[in-house]
A = this chain, B = another copy of it.
Amino acid sequence: MEQRVSLVTLGVGDLSRARRFYEALGWSTGAAPDDGIVFFQAGGMVVALWDRGSLAEDSAVSDHGGWGGVTLAYNVGSPAEVELVLDEARAAGATIARPAAPTSWGGTSGVFVDPEGHVWEVAHNPFWRLRADGTIELPS
């Protein structure tokens, strides 16, 4: 198994609301307005929004609601950008769970929660290389 992820699917209760949220963040999809699943090209991978009950069934798991131990992160090029992205997320309908602040590991981060409860950390990590194309390179 190669060291990569092809797709992250976020289960949602209200697909239209979830789609509007990510579109309000500036994301665009080729999905038709009434498609039952929404795919966003996210760099070299894909982020999907799909009915959470269908995703649970397809994933062969029980869903008792709430958070399940997965947090996404979006890295940016400067501490100031952390605040900007959190402001954008709030304007799009997110809840700010943790405001931008310096972290114990020497970076800056904050956390927003999308309208469906999915958690995104927005971070500036001065020790990781963020390339112009948005890809991340760990220090070797």
Contact = CB atoms under 8 A, between A and B. Distances in A.
Interface of A: 1-12, 25-28, 30, 39-47, 52, 55-56, 58-75, 85, 88-89, 97-98, 111, 113, 116-119, 121, 123, 128, 130-131, 133-140
Given A1-B89, A121-B58, A44 B134 contact: yes
A118 B3 contact: no
Report how many copies the assembly holds. Answer: 2
A65 B52 CA distance: 17
A111 to B, nearest CB: 5
A11 B72 CA distance: 11
Contacts of A3: 26-28, 40-43, 47
